[in-house]
Structure 1
């Protein structure tokens, strides 16, 4: 392997035309410069500089090496600059449901990363069961969970009204058995849906399952079945509340964060502000 320090001395001599001028450029003595060139020539096994010429000239081997030496030094400089760059080196891991990952939340993330160049936001959207497990295992730094009741370590919790929805053009009478559109096992509304239908003494079956809120909404809109969802999530879709069922009790959306200070705590505070605005808007409608 060619030592970059020796290559730098070699390039300096090629550019300056003398050992003395090259030594001055690199802030070293002429004898040190001569020793470095001698070591490089020993490694290669051939002379690189014609010392008898005035100004000194490169040998044929030296001319062949010069271009490669410049590229090696340039790559070294690029590599050092790359590893010295701190942008995106500190991971902040965030988990939240699909309907909380709004454009407003994305704008908060964008503003935060502009202010903290070192931050890299790793955002996961998913089901409550998976997000809860990963947060408690320390795999997420900040998490927003939809749950029946908040835990004692929640930063804040907000009530979220939910309802049953069906396609806009669905028949007034429910089919028998009732087709359901659900999240997979572990989704917050899935078991509640089953329990409600069983209390109503209705037969039911799962007609469509998806972990994506968008896919669930599209399936309801297309008439694949009924589902229980946050009222806010249904806005903008051609679906309607199911009048036959009385309102369900609200769930809560809770914010958790392992840290109160530092960049994690700072981002958690900004996420909390968005949640306050989001649920204040819901209650005003």
Structure 2
């Protein structure tokens, strides 16, 4: 340390020795300092001697009554207090378990509802050690990440659930246009879609090809909200979950008729412990969500 002459740069300021030094500075006595730290006077003397040896200068004037610090000791004292305070803060921080256990969740935009967010908040208040890392995105990316072990819990919109799905729920989907769109479909048909990997994108292309309609992609976004806004603004048609369109100025297209429903499936690597508990709560919310749709 540059403020202490002849200090050995390789020496380590042991917090135990600094604590003994600060105790002597505060009490003015080896005996009182030893009592404060619950050690013998000889041990206290040895610790101060070790600190002085590491620094290469006397820190305490032992002949004075009460004991006084030397000039070097006075220079060290403020730094010693800060070092001990930082150590105490670090130990307190490391002992705190809040947010130390990560649970990683993936789901589509329309499943990340306010009700789901409130359930997450309640869960983390009950389990302060848990930090939730929530990702919303497209089916292809969420599926890949879950299968790679990067997500602990995932909700997937898919055509057919896999065998390891915890539960699955049918979700009606249909074609929508802007509420004030003309009755006749344009030719070619402008489409508002999710990027490649989005569940409804390929189904839209296949339906139009089957009906021998010309089409083009007019707008693409990975955000469900952006897709809904684009359809409402009249940028094109889209195949969407019926429930997701509530509150938007859209209308269904009877020309296309019904589409087979998709399924929303919940997957979890664990059925027990913290992950299993959270997956169970998410499952309860999904049940209520799809029950309301059927109602």
Map 1:11-90 → 2, pairs under 5 A: 11-90=22-101
Counterpart for residue 227 of structure 1: 238
For residues 251 and 50 of structure 1, what CA distance do their matches in structure 2 show? 83
For residues 150 and 69 of structure 2, what CA distance do their matches in structure 1 show? 58
Deviation at 1:59, TM superposition (A): 1.1
Counterpart for residue 212 of structure 1: 223
Deviation at 1:155, TM superposition (A): 0.8
Q: CA offsets per residue over residues 17-70 of structure 1, 9 Å max, x none?
A: 100110111111111111111111111121111111111011111111111110
Query: Is the partner of 1:91 in helix, strand or coil?
Result: strand
Runs of 4+ in 1 over 3 A off after TM superposition: none
For residues 44 and 219 of structure 1, what CA distance do their matches in structure 2 show? 71
Query: Is the partner of 1:159 in helix, strand or coil?
Result: strand
For residues 143 and 130 of structure 1, what CA distance do their matches in structure 2 show? 11
Q: CA RMSD in A?
A: 0.7
2:282 counterpart of 1:271: yes
For residues 266 and 185 of structure 2, what CA distance do their matches in structure 1 show? 37
Q: CA offsets per residue over residues 143-202 of structure 1, 9 Å max, x none?
A: 000001111111111000001011111111111100000001010000000001111110
Counterpart for residue 283 of structure 1: 294
Counterpart for residue 183 of structure 1: 194
Structure 1 unaligned spans of 5+: none
Counterpart for residue 158 of structure 1: 169
2:206 counterpart of 1:200: no
Deviation at 1:212, TM superposition (A): 0.5
Name which of structure 1's ranges 73-82 and 40-49 shifts more when overlaid on structure 2.
40-49
For residues 60 and 236 of structure 1, what CA distance do their matches in structure 2 show? 76
Counterpart for residue 110 of structure 2: 99
Q: TM-score, normalised by structure 2?
A: 0.95
Query: Is the partner of 2:259 in helix, strand or coil?
Result: coil
Structure 2 unaligned spans of 5+: 1-11
Counterpart for residue 126 of structure 2: 115
Query: Is the partner of 2:94 in helix, strand or coil?
Result: helix
Q: CA offsets per residue over residues 102-137 of structure 1, 9 Å max, x none?
A: 000000000000000111111110011111111111
For residues 143 and 21 of structure 2, what CA distance do their matches in structure 1 show? 60
Counterpart for residue 135 of structure 1: 146
Deviation at 1:9, TM superposition (A): 0.3
For residues 241 and 77 of structure 1, what CA distance do their matches in structure 2 show? 64
For residues 269 and 234 of structure 1, what CA distance do their matches in structure 2 show? 27
Deviation at 1:243, TM superposition (A): 2.1
Q: How many residues align?
A: 284
Q: CA offsets per residue over residues 235-261 of structure 1, 9 Å max, x none?
A: 111111112210111100001101010
